[in-house]
Amino acid sequence: MTARDILKVIDENPRITPLEIAKKLSMSAQYVRNVLAILLELGLVETPARGVYITTNLGKFILKEITKEEK
């Protein structure tokens, strides 16, 4: 699993928690939190409320570009 997978889950499930992401992707919550810290620092996600994440416009753009390249 990659940061892209986490970003995609957040984009498809706004206001999701790290624990919910971990369950959906079958990975540890600590790993998800570490990746989220990086995505947050890069401006790809934001936290509208404590403990929940949404994708920023930049995050949506990056996800779209990555998906386009894969096709």
| Residue tagged 């928690």 (tokens) | 17
Per-residue pLDDT of the chain (71 residues; tens, 9 = 90+): 699 999 999 999 999 999 999 999 999 999 999 999 999 999 999 999 999 999 999 999 999 998 887 76
Rounded Cα–Cα distance for residues 44 and 57 (Å): 8
Please give the model's pTM, rounded to 2 decimal places. Answer: 0.92
| Residue tagged 């096709």 (tokens) | 71
Left, alpha or beta for 51 (phi > 0: left; psi -120 to 50: alpha)? left
Q: What pLDDT score was predicted for residue 43?
A: 97
Enumerate domains of the chain plus CATH numbers: 3-70 (1.10.10.10)
